[in-house]
Structure 1
């Protein structure tokens, strides 16, 4: 799994998840429940990971959706 997006924006996390679900791109959202520890302030970013095999497709999908600026640099 590779981290593709890191953000504090819960709406963006939801939108990206919907895009990936529609495209059948397997993904995981990490640190989603950390708000319990931080007091729901939204300080800790959520990380979206995709499988190594689908990273290129996921990046292309986000670029096509106008979200290229949210992508983490490729490793």
Structure 2
């Protein structure tokens, strides 16, 4: 579980609000009307799982890194 109010990085204390804004802006622009299933803070990234869709990776500053596309079976 990530406490968005207490985020520190190599560059010093980061604004949790800015990180959330970057991630939220990306999701709204690129995945409109999607539901977030899970948010996990891993070693050096945030992983955002979109319900029934992709897993998105962001760096600790909230900048998009890559999407892990889930393959649909069928």
TM range (shorter): 0.3 to 0.5
Q: State the TM-score, normalized to the length of structure 1.
A: 0.34
Q: State the TM-score, normalized to the length of structure 2.
A: 0.35
> Hey, which of these two has a bigger chunk of helix by percent?
1
Higher relative CO (CA 8 A, sep ≥ 6), structure 1 or 2? 1
> Hey, which of these two has a bigger chunk of strand by percent?
2
